[in-house]
Structure 1
Amino acid sequence: MTEARAPQLPTVDDVATRAGVSRQTVSNVLNSPEIVRPETRERVQAAIDVLGYRPHASARRLRTRQSSTIGVRLDPVTGNGVSGSVFDRFLHALVEHADARGMRVTLFTARDDEDELQHYMRLRDGADIDGVVLTGTRYDDPRTAGLAAEGIPFVAFGRPWGAEPLDDPARLWVDVDGRAGVQAATEHLVGRGLRRIGWLGWPAGSGTGDDRRRGWEAAMTAAFGHGAAELRALTTEAEDRVPEARIAIERLLAAGTDLEALVCASDSLGLGAMMAVREAGLPHFPVIGFDNTPVAKAVGLSSVDQRLDEVARATLALLMGEQGTRVLPHGGADRHPRLITPQLIVRRSSHLAPVEEEAGGTTSGDHINGKETQE
């Protein structure tokens, strides 16, 4: 019996022959695609696809000192299972798009910011990562300055609030335009004929929360000419947890209010508000959250979707170039931060109704003081 031979895998030379180019051109397409003319790059990529060629990862790493790996810190569990799912969904999208570019994502944990930076430097020095995607950014985040000082290529998911200027090419970021998303949510309610639209947000001082609140302010001022005092009277604050939001709205109801709807800084706040108004006997009182989490869909909570797939795509485009297959060097004046426009998802206001509302549809609503209106 003749022993069956394993099929021979395609080589760089096979790709070069099929594409009608040199072996070096194929290598350039794989390792430095930006230096190859687009039409040549497309021809080589077509040959790679037809032949099913796959570069040998270990050989490439030894040759280029590149690991084809991106480092991401796995954020600690906060106990917020509602809005906490945003990172999980972003990470899934990032891994999926990175894989399509021949890149891997390695996760690690860290005790604090300094420990996180030390991890990045050790991984970089050992050629275990080529770049970093930074998450959980906040005011005066020391990690952006630390990574920039070390020359480690990185892109942040979220604006580095407090680090001026925000268009610094050494501190690249991709973020969701929270202001635009909340403004669209508020304008949707205004379009339904509602006037007393309240804001349920986080305590002041959160870059993301303050930015989202500005969207509500802009819509209310444009529609009704509200000043600072009137906007404050329509504002309620709570920590980003369901129980705190529920208690805050229960107290608001007990004190008496003429609010007709609520726009919230997150789905955690939105869910807490939704529970409070339902238990108060107002099953159709409009509440809109932010993040479009699975919980929001399950309970029929209208919400602003961050379009995390697009965020992940833009993050890799800044880190590797639009069509690149390797991480670009730190900095670069030709790359600029990106702001992704979110999408409002409108659902029926009845509790536990997971069906999205049809375009142009209306459902009955409730005034907090008991007078019926239209959502």
Structure 2
Amino acid sequence: MSKQRPTIADVADRAGVSKGAVSFALNGRPGLAQATVDKILAAADELGWRPSNRARSLSVSKAFALGLVITRDPDVLSSDPFFPAFIAGVESVLSSRGQALVLQVVTAGEEEEAGYRRLAQDARVDGVFLSDLRHDDPRIPLLKELGLPAVTLNRPDGTSPFPAVILDDRPGTAAVVEHLVELGHTRIAHVAGPPAFVHATARSTALLSTLAAAGLEPVAVETSDFTAAGGIEATRRLLTLPQPPTAIVYANDRMAIAGLGAAQAAGLTVPDDLSIAGFDDSELAEYVHPGLTTVRADPFAFGEAAARTLNLVVDGATDVPDAELPPAQLVVRRSTGAPPSLGSPSPA
């Protein structure tokens, strides 16, 4: 026969207090002496008792959950290098607080708006992470209307009442271009992400401004969708130009690795004939052949910082500041080398 699970009444009996006092202590409410709180927590630990999230939510009007609504194709999301690591970082914070992450994968537009409305109206979450910011993002006024606490992943390009967690992509992107220019490249192309996304535009703008500072213009800019298929198609178009590039900078590693394969299938040797660089420093970047020069971000730390910041807002803190993480950094591997005309060896 299984042993009966302890209850709040058992904790109260062990600590010599009322059930109401146990509820106050476990939910962090004021009004109890610290010695009483310590005695109740010790009794709970001795009995192995923890309140269920459902009971906690009923007692303090909280869901003990945070929400993440992602507008990506599920097939694309399964191989995305950012979100799994970001979610792991979020969960590392939530697990210690007895919180859950509510994840929704939707399509943009009405379904996305309906997803946020359901989360707010059903009180399923206490706040949300706002990812993949768009220009003039309609979700910011929507969340303000719904009264749903939020944190944005990077700063939006308009006004926002929510704190932001910032990982600046621009220094890493600029460093990629400077690295290629130092190697002697003058015919550099770019495969950009969707222009609706603020972070995609930021990477492209940093690339173009760094080229301009070196007195260069891009051979071409191909707009793609962050997918492997999109990277292949963009690479094929670039390689058929009358004057094809000697280097291509991709807005993420998935497109870059796919582009590397497309270049090799076209008979080119990387980096002898074509240099390739990505962005993310995903797990595969180090192990493809040749290893991919890329830009390292830290989505796990991004998730940790976002969860901590959002919990400050949820817990009622006022004037929560933005959280700034170290900027993205260049990682040089063997997929970049001197252009063919210079004939220099590629970097070790």
Shorter-chain TM-score category? Answer: 0.7 to 0.9
Q: Given the alignment of the two structures, is residue 291 of structure 1 paired with residue 280 of structure 2, yes or no?
A: yes
Give the superposition deviation at 1:50.
6.5
Tell me the equivalent position of 2:294: 303
Question: Which one of 223, 233, 237 corresponds to residue 244 of structure 1?
Answer: 233
Give the distance between the partners of 2:78 and 2:178, measured in 1 at CA. 25
Distance 1:12 1:79, change over 3 A: same
Deviations for 1:143-170, whole angstroms, at most 9, x for unmatched residues?
1111012211112334333x23xxx4x1
Query: Is the 2:130–2:152 contact (alpha carbons within 8 Å) kept by the matching residues of 1?
Result: yes
Distance 1:185 1:15, change over 3 A: farther
Deviations for 1:282-341, whole angstroms, at most 9, x for unmatched residues?
3334322012233434412222232111111111122112xxxx9235xx6521333433
Structure 1 unaligned segments of length 5 or more: list them. Answer: 351-363
Tell me the equivalent position of 2:344: 372
Give the distance between the partners of 2:262 and 2:2, measured in 1 at CA. 70
Question: Which one of 87, 90, 99 corresponds to residue 86 of structure 2?
Answer: 90
Structure 2 unaligned segments of length 5 or more: list them. Answer: none
Q: Secondary structure at the match of 1:349?
A: coil
- What is the identity, as a one-letter code, of the residue corresponding to 2:283? P
Which deviates further from its counterpart, 278-287 or 46-55?
46-55
Query: Is the 2:93–2:308 contact (alpha carbons within 8 Å) kept by the matching residues of 1?
Result: no
- What is the identity, as a one-letter code, of the residue corresponding to 1:242? G
Tell me the equivalent position of 2:268: 281
Report percent identity of matched pairs: 25
Distance 1:123 1:303, change over 3 A: same
Q: Paired residues, what number?
A: 332
Question: Which one of 199, 215, 219 corresponds to residue 206 of structure 2?
Answer: 215
Tell me the equivalent position of 2:58: 62
Q: Secondary structure at the match of 2:337?
A: strand
Distance 1:120 1:374, change over 3 A: closer
Q: Given the alignment of the two structures, is residue 173 of structure 1 paired with residue 160 of structure 2, yes or no?
A: no
Tell me the equivalent position of 1:200: 190
Give the superposition deviation at 1:371.
2.6
Give the distance between the partners of 1:139 and 1:121, measured in 2 at CA. 21
Distance 1:287 1:109, change over 3 A: closer
Tell me the equivalent position of 1:358: none
Give the distance between the partners of 2:204 and 2:124, measured in 1 at CA. 41
Supply the RMSD in Å over aligned alpha carbons: 4.1
Question: Which one of 225, 234, 252 corresponds to residue 266 of structure 1?
Answer: 252
Tell me the equivalent position of 1:255: 243
Give the superposition deviation at 1:68.
0.5
Give the distance between the partners of 2:80 and 2:331, measured in 1 at CA. 21
Deviations for 1:3-42, whole angstroms, at most 9, x for unmatched residues?
885585797669989xxxx999986775458x89xx99x9
Question: Which one of 129, 139, 142 corresponds to residue 143 of structure 1?
Answer: 139
